[in-house]
């Protein structure tokens, strides 16, 4: 796999062990706003563990990686744009265990609330999710989170092709394995299919769709062709 990107990620060094030049990963970070998450329910269940409190200064996000999902806490001060997740501007965005506990305590939540949240997240950690999201988004890696703190909001922000080093993902999947999994996922799940162009209608309609008309395969007028043929026959005919 050959990677075309404006930033360097932690698994890029694995390209030196050999690559398929015909398999190209155009790693462009893009932010997409969704009205709601419309694919795998596991992701929606992760968002339900997000405390809805105006003082809670953390967002619960989901990393989608080659068919599996992982959770991560990110501070609310982080801007939801391609610069934050697709460059070296931020080296480490995830919040530590201690920082998340502090946020729960700040909002007056007891230790039982945080324990329940951790149990719920652990149940989904590394779980396989459907491929529809990856196929429709057109990327092997994404980051999804609910930006609102109000429980009625179903809005979801998706970052396509985020920098995994910024998300601390090297602690979850080591570099060579990450490179291999992305290459296999792109080659098997996201590679464009080789279909012949679709044609509708009979031969005249198909020809017209491709820019031909009734004169494309014939001359506009006979010209001198018939006259020359007649003169040649007369010249070759022996005199009576």
Residue 122's pLDDT is 79
Question: Do both 24 and 80 map to the same domain?
Answer: yes
pLDDT tens-digit profile of 109-151? Answer: 877 777 778 777 777 788 888 888 898 999 999 999 876 655 5
Domain range for 71 is 2-190
Question: Do both 174 and 226 map to the same domain?
Answer: no
Q: Compute the mean pLDDT over every residue in the chain, rounded to the nearest whole number.
A: 77
Residue 75 falls within a domain, yes or no? yes
* The pairing of beta strand 68-75 with beta strand 156-160: unpaired
Residue 178: is its pLDDT beyond 90? yes
Q: Is residue 26 helix, strand or coil?
A: strand
Question: Do both 51 and 108 map to the same domain?
Answer: yes
Question: Do both 97 and 120 map to the same domain?
Answer: yes
Percent of the chain past pLDDT 70, that is, above it, reads 75
> Distance between CA atoms of 66 and 186, rounded to whole angstroms?
9
Measured in whole angstroms, the distance separating CA 82 from the mean position of its chain's CA atoms is 14
pLDDT tens-digit profile of 179-215? Answer: 999 999 998 877 654 433 333 334 554 455 455 555 5
Residue 200's pLDDT is 39
Q: Is residue 120 helix, strand or coil?
A: helix
Tokens of 182: 């992305």
Number of domains in the chain: 2
Question: Do both 140 and 218 map to the same domain?
Answer: no
pLDDT tens-digit profile of 90-106? Answer: 667 888 888 888 888 88
pLDDT band at 34 (very low <50, low <70, confident <90, very high): confident
Residue 120 falls within a domain, yes or no? yes
Tokens of 239: 């005199």
């Amino acid at each position: 796999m050959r990677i075309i990107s404006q930033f360097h990620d932690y698994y890029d060094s694995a390209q030196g062990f050999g690559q398929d030049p015909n398999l190209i990963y155009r790693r462009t970070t893009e932010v997409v706003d969704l009205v709601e998450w419309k694919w795998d329910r596991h992701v929606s269940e992760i968002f339900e563990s997000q405390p809805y409190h105006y003082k809670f200064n953390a967002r619960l996000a989901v990393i989608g990686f080659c068919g599996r999902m992982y959770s991560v806490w990110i501070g609310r001060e982080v801007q939801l744009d391609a610069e934050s997740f697709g460059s070296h501007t931020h080296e480490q965005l995830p919040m530590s265990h201690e920082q998340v506990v502090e946020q729960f305590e700040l909002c007056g939540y007891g230790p039982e609330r945080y324990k329940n949240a951790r149990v719920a997240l652990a149940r989904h950690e590394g779980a396989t999710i459907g491929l529809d999201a990856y196929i429709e988004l057109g990327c092997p890696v994404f980051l999804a989170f609910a930006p609102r703190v109000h429980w009625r909001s179903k809005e979801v922000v998706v970052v396509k092709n985020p920098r995994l080093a910024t998300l601390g993902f090297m602690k979850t999947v080591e570099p060579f394995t990450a490179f291999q999994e992305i290459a296999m996922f792109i080659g098997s799940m996201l590679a464009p299919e080789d279909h012949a162009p679709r044609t509708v209608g009979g031969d005249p309609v198909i020809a017209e769709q491709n820019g031909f008309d009734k004169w494309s395969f014939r001359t506009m007028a006979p010209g001198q062709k018939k006259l020359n043929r007649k003169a040649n026959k007369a010249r070759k005919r022996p005199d009576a």
